[in-house]
Chains A and B, each alone.
Chain A
């Protein structure tokens, strides 16, 4: 790899131990994936924050990096394993609370903003079109590449941290035009609206891409989509397809930058969507848990939930997962009071994917196809997908 002077100096240890270790990680990955050089990044999103995933091993590594490591660019964190304020009410034990805070503190020591959210683009870590970034969190990677038109590979925890501590990432993969072309055309011959329907579509396309061994889809036939629908789609297609980038005609900024694929064309009809939806509803279902906000709920979604819950009482455990800054806006707007008066709970800084809730509930209802996947695989719940309105209705039953 061709390195600039500052990059060589970092590799030689002239900028400290953590910058050296970081540059070792980045140059090695660059060599493996055939990068010719590094590129400056404008922001970083770090995953691997929940203590349940990090464990003592991860924490030890972070502590070593924090001895002399400081971030060089705007860096934010993925969700943690608990709400940092409301953890007790959500059933988190004291020991986990202490360990989770040890992890968050070490990130803070390195100058990372500890917002703990999977939607950094909604809370100030928002790149613009064409900017190079180094993000972990598969749903946010997909959103930033596709919806914003920024450029990032799917980073893991250590490689994202390395980018933060050096301000660099190896220039390969989605940083290069040649890898941003799509290979499969999906024609959607059905109406798709609301977060759950976009999640179902994401699973259908993601599954097909895995079957075909392809990466980047081009989607036509979606006349409009909201930010919330797109974030649901991104989370789903990234979960089921490992997809980091898609183009959507008339919606995403690069849809007419590269040629539309014509070799593989897949038609998607209402029947196909119905079959996929049925895949996301388990048999013998007993729902005792409802969760909205995967990815983290926007203020617009929280406003809608507040309206649906106003003056009512929920009868089931009901979480709304969101970013702390979004929760603060909800507090000021009065939405939080309405929601909490109805008996629903905010779970800020965390989510139903990373919180240590395995086996705590029998069945979960969500509006997110991603939450279905992890609800089953990680937490051993039965799952049901439905619209936000249907989820609220279920919680009131």
Chain B
């Protein structure tokens, strides 16, 4: 299935998807050294987002979150791509400075955890395999 969205940051990546209906705050909500979601009560609490295509509605929390994403990338702990329903400034800036392919304006109900997903950030296309 091919989903057309909006390109946020360029690049192509393919990996297993991890999907949540909860917003994500990278600052305080994700451990940048382990890639594990640590926000208490979060749908993904205790799960790793490292090396995955991370699919969630939108970002939340402090603008410092952009820096946390950069830190994860430097630690090789970042997701390989991000898919959002509606991007916010924190995630957009985080993807740009960390060079993580990113597409938004995608109906994320079409993607399930564990599916293989190809994200083409340069074209704004997400392919569910």
Contact A28 B8 (CB under 8 A): yes
Cβ A28 vs Cβ B70 within 8 A: no
Task: Name the distance in Å between B10's Cβ and chain A's nearest Cβ.
Answer: 9
Interface residues of A in 62-82 (CB under 8 A from B): none
Are the C-beta atoms of B67 and A58 separated by less than 8 Å? yes
Given A28-B8, A32-B87, A60-B74, is A21 in contact with B67 using a C-beta cutoff of 8 Å?
Answer: no
Q: Assess whether B64 is in contact with A48, with CB atoms less than 8 Å apart.
A: yes
How many A-B pairs fall under 8 Å by CB? 63
CB of B63 closer than 8 Å to a CB of A:
yes
Please tell me if the beta carbons of B71 and A57 are within 8 angstroms of each other in the complex.
Answer: yes
Q: Give the total of A residues in contact with B, Cβ under 8 Å.
A: 22
Check if B89 sits within 8 Å of A61, measured CB to CB.
no
- How many angstroms between the C-alpha atoms of A327 and B38 in the bound complex? 42
Contact B90 A156 (CB under 8 A): yes
- Complex: how many Å from CA A112 to CA B9? 28
* B92 contacts partner chain A, Cβ-Cβ < 8 Å: yes
Contacts of A31 in B (CB 8 A): 6
Residue A188 is within 8 A (CB to CB) of chain B in the complex: no
Residue of A nearest to B98 (CB): A61
Residue from A53, A56, A158 within 8 A of B97 (CB atoms): A158
- The yes or no answer to B50 lying at the interface (CB within 8 A) is no
Q: Whole-angstrom distance from the CB of A64 to the nearest CB of chain B?
A: 9
A325 beta carbon closer than 8 Å to chain B: no
B66 within 8 A of A: yes
| Binary CB contact string for chain A from 32 to 57 against chain B (1 if under 8 A, 0 otherwise) | 10000000000000011000011111
Q: Is the beta-carbon distance between B63 and A48 smaller than 8 angstroms?
A: yes
Contacts of A21 in B (CB 8 A): 96-97
User: Which of A28, A57, A60 contacts B9 (CB under 8 A)?
Assistant: A28
Which of A29, A32, A56, A157 interacts with B71 by CB under 8 Å?
A56
Q: Within the assembled complex, what's the spacing in Å between the Cα atoms of A128 and B68?
A: 35
Q: Which residue of A lies closest to B75 (CB)?
A: A57
Distance (Å) between the CB of B84 and the closest chain A CB? 11
B93 & A57 in contact (Cβ 8 Å cutoff): no
B88 CB, min distance to chain A CBs, angstroms = 9
**Pair B93/A156 contact, Cβ less than 8 Å:** yes
Bound together, the chains give a CA A156 to CA B88 distance in angstroms of 12
B70 closest partner in A (C-beta): A61
Closest to A156 in B: B63
Contacts A28-B8, A32-B8 given; indicate if A159 touches B87 (C-beta within 8 A).
Answer: no
At the interface, yes or no: B32 with Cβ under 8 Å from chain A?
Answer: yes
Instruction: Give bound CA distance, A25 to B93, whole Å.
Output: 6
Q: With an 8 A cutoff between CB atoms, is A9 at the interface? A: no
Q: Does A340 contact B (CB under 8 A)?
A: no
Contact residues, B72-129 vs A (CB, 8 A): 74, 87, 89-90, 92-93, 96-97
Closest Cβ of chain B to A84, distance in Å, is 22
A157, B6: Cα distance in complex, Å: 24
Cα(A370)–Cα(B90), bound, Å: 23
- Other contacts beyond A28-B92, A47-B63, A48-B67: 14, CB < 8 A: A21-B96, A28-B93, A29-B92, A48-B63, A55-B67, A56-B71, A57-B32, A57-B71, A57-B74, A60-B74, A136-B63, A156-B89, A157-B63, A157-B64
* Sample of 16 A–B contacts (CB below 8 Å): A24-B96, A32-B87, A55-B64, A55-B67, A56-B71, A57-B68, A58-B64, A58-B67, A58-B70, A61-B70, A61-B97, A136-B63, A156-B93, A157-B64, A157-B67, A159-B93
Binding site for A on B (CB under 8 A): 6, 8-9, 32, 62-64, 66-68, 70-71, 74, 87, 89-90, 92-93, 96-97
When A and B form their complex, which 3 residue pairs have the shortest distance between CB atoms, in order from nearest? Answer: A57-B71, A156-B63, A58-B67
